[in-house]
Every structure is written in C-alpha cells, then in structure tokens.
C-alpha cells in the first residue's frame, strides 16, 4: 500500500509539471529525480546583527523565496533567510538575504553570512526590525545587478531597489515610490517587483520596450511600472490617475484568491511571458487545492503594449505535491516562484517551499 501511495504521489508530481497548455509557455518544467530542497535552514551559521549587537543564527528558522542570476559560469541564488525566535509566526521574524553558488544549478555552496540585511544605513526606518525580504534580480547589458526586494518595518511593506557590481557590495536606493507624485503610493503596500528581461547571447538581461524598462509588481493584483534607469520608477496609471491592474484573481480558477508577480518576466517572440504566483480560495476557486495554497501560473502580454493581456493558463503548471513543499511555516503548501535563469541550454526555475526551503525545477530550451 505504501509503495502504491508513493508511486501515486510521484506520478501526480511529475504530471503537474508536464501540463504544457499553451505553445507560448516556458517549459515544460520537471523536478529533479528524487527531488529534495537545495537550500534548507541550518543553525550552524552565525552573524553579528547590527540592529541588536547580538550574534544570531540568521538562517536557523527558514530559507526560502529565492532570486537567481548567472555570473562567471555559475548560478547565484539570493535567498530570504529567517532566524528561529520561537513562534512560527509569518512576518514576525527578521529577514536577511543569503547567497549560494553552484556550478550545475542544483548543488549549492552557501556563504556563511548574509550579503544583504538591515543595518545602520539610510534605509533603517524602512527595514528595522522586519528586515529585507523576497528578492528578484536582473542584470543590465553593462553588468550592473539590480535587486528588487521588500522592506519590512512591521508597519508597511515597501518595494525597494538596490544595485551592485559583484553581488556582495550593495547600494540601497530606498522605496521605489517614495518621491513619485509627493509619495502618493509611499504608504501603500507594495512588493514583488519583477523586471522584464530578454535572452541575449544565451543570457537574460533587462529589456527595454519603447525606450523604457518595465516591471510587473504587486499583490493581490499585478500592476505595472516603468523606469529609464532601473532605480526611479513610475506606476502606470490611467487617465483618472489610478493604477490599473493588468492581472487579477479569477473566481473559479487556481488563482481565485490572489496573483503576485513571480521571477523576472521574459520577452519572447510571442510576447512577454509572465510567471506568477497564484493563491487559491477554496470557496470560489478550485476545491481540491484547498485554501491559501500557492501554485504557479503563466500569462502572456503584448511585446509592444506590456499592459495588454493576450493569453493566460487555466491550470497551474507547478503546484506543491512533495512533503517539503507542504511543511514548515506554511503547511497549506507553496511553490513560490522568484528566480529564473537560462543556464547551459536549459531554464532553471527556483522557488520557495512552504515559507521554509528552496526547490528547483528545470526545462530544456525549445
């Protein structure tokens, strides 16, 4: 009976990643054989916290929600880490960003200390004491790395930008909407900034459309913003001066509760492929997914009008099925997408599992 159950779970897991519903989609993605977390919490790494002056086990509670980039023939994963403080309260810990590197994209070596965290700097009022969360990262053609992340001061989560030349030394530029229209959206919750990229000479780089960079961001809807320099951003508004959601939850589907921007979207011959995180509301969504389960969807937007939705999947292309995807801080289950790279002829997609660990799936290039 146990063998039959194990086979059934493995089959469902495999099938869930095989459903290629639309020809424009990235994928199909597959889990590695005998899939397991590639990054998991550990208590052995310690760090002197600038906020308290204490030595803390900075990644003892959770390691999840990863960004990813390639550099010098390796994959670099920047992951959110939380220290164990007792209660498993989501949002109640301090988040910092750690760094792990890999020569094959599947086996990683981790830095002993975080490379990005709240400290005595100009962003203290926005990052103490909740920390720096949920990174996404892109590279420019000139080799500048641009990190979008959430600043959490336990009051308002804010989307912010930082830049680096080496992935270890960072310049923080602060909340992206702080100065726009006298701070019109500065006190409005914002997070999950996914900047559009394109594949050039085998590498994903930040893409310009109509002379601008574009970013899909937000939750429970996804909005758009534009920039000329990747640091200063303007929300896309309508003629009435209001933000316009370009992707929203749908009753009756796997994304009935919320949608949230995933890893950096990819500009392809078909349009802009946006991988997004989808939350289910069992009452008005998909019954067998349960409440608050996070899965992954894909949507296609116009290459010339990034606000124009052309197509959208009707079922998730990835969902939590394995034990490590349904454990830890978020037992409902998550496959929370944040990191995407093109490496050695294949796509590697990195995701957070149950707000606790990091997983990876891969797809051969078409």
Q: Tell me, what CATH number does 254's domain have?
A: 2.115.10.20
pLDDT tens for residues 109-138? 999 999 999 999 999 999 999 999 999 999
Confirm whether 50 is domain-assigned: yes
Confirm whether 15 is domain-assigned: no
Confirm whether 210 is domain-assigned: yes
Which phi and psi angles does 215 have, rounded to 5°?
Answer: -135, 125
What are the tokens at 6? 């194990």
Confirm whether 21 is domain-assigned: no
Confirm whether 55 is domain-assigned: yes
CB 357 within 8 A of CB 333: no
For the chain, how many structural domains are there in total? 1
Cβ contacts of 267 within 8 Å, gap of 6 or more: 196, 197, 198, 207, 209, 303
Lowest mean pLDDT among 23-32, 43-52, 87-96, 286-295: 87-96
Return the sign of the alpha-carbon dihedral for residues 307, 314, 335, 78. negative
Structural domain that includes position 330: 35-364
pLDDT confidence bin for 86, thresholds 50/70/90: low
Confirm whether 143 is domain-assigned: yes
pLDDT exceeds 90 at position 303: yes
**Alpha carbon distance 61, 133 (integer Å):** 14
Nearest to 174 by CA among 193, 155, 149: 149
Mean pLDDT score of the chain:
92
Confirm whether 7 is domain-assigned: no
Confirm whether 94 is domain-assigned: yes
């Amino acid at each position: 009976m146990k063998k039959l159950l194990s086979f059934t779970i493995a089959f469902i897991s495999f099938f869930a990643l095989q459903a290629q519903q639309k020809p424009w989609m990235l994928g199909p993605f597959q889990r590695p054989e005998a899939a397991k977390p590639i990054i998991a919490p550990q208590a052995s790494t310690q760090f002197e916290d600038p906020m308290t002056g204490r030595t803390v086990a900075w990644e003892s509670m959770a390691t999840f929600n990863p960004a990813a980039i390639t550099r010098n023939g390796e994959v670099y994963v920047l992951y959110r880490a939380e220290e164990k403080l007792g209660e498993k309260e989501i949002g109640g810990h301090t988040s910092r960003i750690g760094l792990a590197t890999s020569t094959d994209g599947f086996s990683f070596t981790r830095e002993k200390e975080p490379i990005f965290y709240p400290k005595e700097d100009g962003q203290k009022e926005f990052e103490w004491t909740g920390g720096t969360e949920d990174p996404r990262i892109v590279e420019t053609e000139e080799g500048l790395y641009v990190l979008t992340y959430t600043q959490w001061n336990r009051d308002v989560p804010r989307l912010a930008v930082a830049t680096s030349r080496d992935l270890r030394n960072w310049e923080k530029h602060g909340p992206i909407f702080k100065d726009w229209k006298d701070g019109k959206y500065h006190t409005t919750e914002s997070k999950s900034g996914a900047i559009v990229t394109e594949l050039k000479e085998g590498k994903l780089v930040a893409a310009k459309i109509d002379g601008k960079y574009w970013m899909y961001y937000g939750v429970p809807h996804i909005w758009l913003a534009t920039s000329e320099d990747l640091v200063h951003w303007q929300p896309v508004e309508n003629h009435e001066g209001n933000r316009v959601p370009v992707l929203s939850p749908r009753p009756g589907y796997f994304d009935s509760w919320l949608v949230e921007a995933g890893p950096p979207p990819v500009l392809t011959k078909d349009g802009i492929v946006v991988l997004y995180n989808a939350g289910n509301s069992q009452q008005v969504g998909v019954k067998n997914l349960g409440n608050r389960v996070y899965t992954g969807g894909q949507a296609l937007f116009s290459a010339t009008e990034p606000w124009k939705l052309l197509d959208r999947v009707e079922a998730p292309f990835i969902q939590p099925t394995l034990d490590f995807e349904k454990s830890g801080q978020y037992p409902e289950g998550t496959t929370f997408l944040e990191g995407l790279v093109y490496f050695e002829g294949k796509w590697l997609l990195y995701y957070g599992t149950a707000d606790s660990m990091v997983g990876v799936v891969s797809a051969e290039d078409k």
